[in-house]
Amino acid sequence: MYIVHSIFNVPVGKEDEVIDIYRKRSGLVDKAPGFINFQLLQNERKKGELTVQISWETKEDYLNWVTGEDYKRIHELEKKYPDKELASIVPKVRKYRVVAE
């Protein structure tokens, strides 16, 4: 299994807005080959720190997703988000290979 975290900080007071965006997400990634699950995590101590966690069967499945058209389409929409402060957020991406369960 391969897990990818996109960690980002949301401006104070906009946490619920961003959480709602993810609750209403398109779900395109869910249909990608090798997709296992999607979760949005909120740091208990720093409410503005959110992490998107997506689990994949293999690293290759993840790479196929990020080089595909649906991925590009979703991320182009993010850049056009009306709230420029939210649209300008750049996440820190961390990638993990599951080595034991």
Residue-wise pLDDT tens digits, 2-39: 999 999 999 989 999 999 999 998 899 999 999 999 99
Tokens of 79: 């850049």
State the pLDDT at residue 16: 94
What CATH number does the domain containing 54 carry? 3.30.70.100
Whether 79 and 73 have beta carbons less than 8 Å apart is answered as: no
Q: pLDDT-based confidence at 74, cuts 50/70/90?
A: confident
State the pLDDT at residue 79: 65
Element housing 70 (H / E):
helix 69-79
**pTM of the model as a whole:** 0.89
Strand order in the sheet with 35-42: 35-42, 49-56, 2-9, 92-97
How far is residue 36 from each of residues 3, 21, 88, measured CA to CA in Å? 9, 21, 28
Query: For the residues 55-69, what does the mean pLDDT come to?
Result: 97
Number of domains in the chain: 1
10 strand-pairing partners: none
State the pLDDT at residue 86: 82
Q: Range of 33's domain?
A: 2-97
